[in-house]
Chains A and B, each alone.
Chain A
């Protein structure tokens, strides 16, 4: 019994297949087992891809291209509650599929993007939004990085200022004493 690869049955690839399996037969039974594993693995990977391709994007009857673009945009901004690190557009979860359909139907009813988002927020909380809304509870989240940046900038500014003053005092001293011997490459940047 020879294992057969699908897609290798055509005449053109037959010699290749014979070489492939012939070589395997020449080796021990164990090697053949390994080959079988390889074939099965390849099939599995192939099947997985085929499944993902058909499973993730089910065709929806969009009115026109603009609507499809809007749908893609909107579902990219919404989180899949099951996988949580995936957006609604890409997720293969059952619930994500249901929610895509829901979003699509709401769009057909003429709801705006904001209304559709609110619809999902009412059911699944702000967590469905990838961009957290600006509200008192999220001020730290939104402005925290900016505040840290400003604080850091302030520290740098104060340090630079202090060192410049110190350097200025040094320069003043050097001008009177040993200026002629200073390396020009050192000038002004000794912090």
Chain B
């Protein structure tokens, strides 16, 4: 029995190695859980994309839950996500706020004109300063913010029908039960 100990240790190391390979093939190494979940969304005041003289603030959006979707016309994965928002966005049953991140306003407007605009409202953060407060590090990102202005859920990367069905929709339903 004792002579098998090195072999058992070796096999355990092989197992660990195999687990590392297997885990790295499916988990998203870029995913970093946000520390902002269940914390109040940061205060912001950002201009509307199509009416830059009007500011939208956190306070002005309170009272109704909304989905803040960070996108940019320069962002490849956002173009991938866009058709999903076009087809499923209305069915989410929640206000969709587009957050145009580090983008030239004209580019963003053309992008939305060409592909369709799934948002109820689009705000623009050209310098990207407010996005730092939201902990944005890669578009697209989606924040579910409840009626009291608390971030309840965040998804990093494109929303897909699977993500919506398994994560986003249940989170939206929970938020809407509290404040219809």
Seen from chain A, the residues whose Cβ lies within 8 Å of a Cβ on chain B are: 81-82, 84, 94-95, 98-99, 102, 121-125, 127
Partner of A123 from B33, B127, B133 at Cβ < 8 Å: B133
Main secondary structure of the interface of B (DSSP, over half): loop
- B34 to chain A: which residues have CB within 8 Å? 125
| B102–A127 CB distance below 8 A | no
| B128–A94 CB distance below 8 A | yes
Partner of B102 from A94, A121, A124 at Cβ < 8 Å: A94
User: Which has the most chain A C-beta neighbours within 10 Å: B30, B35, B133, B136?
Assistant: B35
Partner of A82 from B33, B35, B36, B138 at Cβ < 8 Å: B138
Partner of B128 from A95, A121, A125 at Cβ < 8 Å: A95
Chain B residue at smallest Cβ distance from A119: B132
Restricting to B93-133, which residues have a CB under 8 Å from any CB of A? Answer: 102, 127-129, 132-133
Complex: A82 Cα to B102 Cα, angstroms = 15
B19 within 8 A of A: no
B18 within 8 A of A: no
Complex: A95 Cα to B135 Cα, angstroms = 10
| B35–A122 CB distance below 8 A | yes
Q: How many interface residues does B have (CB within 8 Å)?
A: 18
Chain A residue at smallest Cβ distance from B134: A123
| A125–B132 CB distance below 8 A | no
- A121 to chain B: which residues have CB within 8 Å? 35
Complex: A124 Cα to B138 Cα, angstroms = 12
B23 within 8 A of A: no
- A124 to chain B: which residues have CB within 8 Å? 32, 35, 135, 137
- Other than A84-B30, A94-B128, A124-B135, give 11 A-B pairs with Cβ distance below 8 A: A81-B137, A82-B137, A84-B29, A95-B128, A95-B137, A98-B128, A98-B132, A99-B132, A122-B35, A123-B36, A125-B33
Complex: A122 Cα to B42 Cα, angstroms = 11
Main secondary structure of the interface of A (DSSP, over half): helix
Complex: A82 Cα to B132 Cα, angstroms = 13
User: How distant is B101 from chain A, measured CB to nearest CB, in Å?
Assistant: 10
User: How distant is B121 from chain A, measured CB to nearest CB, in Å?
Assistant: 24
- B132 to chain A: which residues have CB within 8 Å? 98-99, 102, 123
- B32 to chain A: which residues have CB within 8 Å? 81, 124-125, 127
| B30–A125 CB distance below 8 A | no
Question: Could you pull out 12 A-B pairs where Cβ atoms are within 8 angstroms?
Answer: A81-B32, A81-B137, A81-B138, A84-B30, A94-B128, A98-B127, A98-B128, A98-B129, A121-B35, A124-B35, A124-B137, A127-B32
Complex: A121 Cα to B35 Cα, angstroms = 8
User: How distant is A127 from chain B, measured CB to nearest CB, in Å?
Assistant: 5
- B138 to chain A: which residues have CB within 8 Å? 81-82
User: Which has the most chain A C-beta neighbours within 10 Å: B34, B127, B135?
Assistant: B135
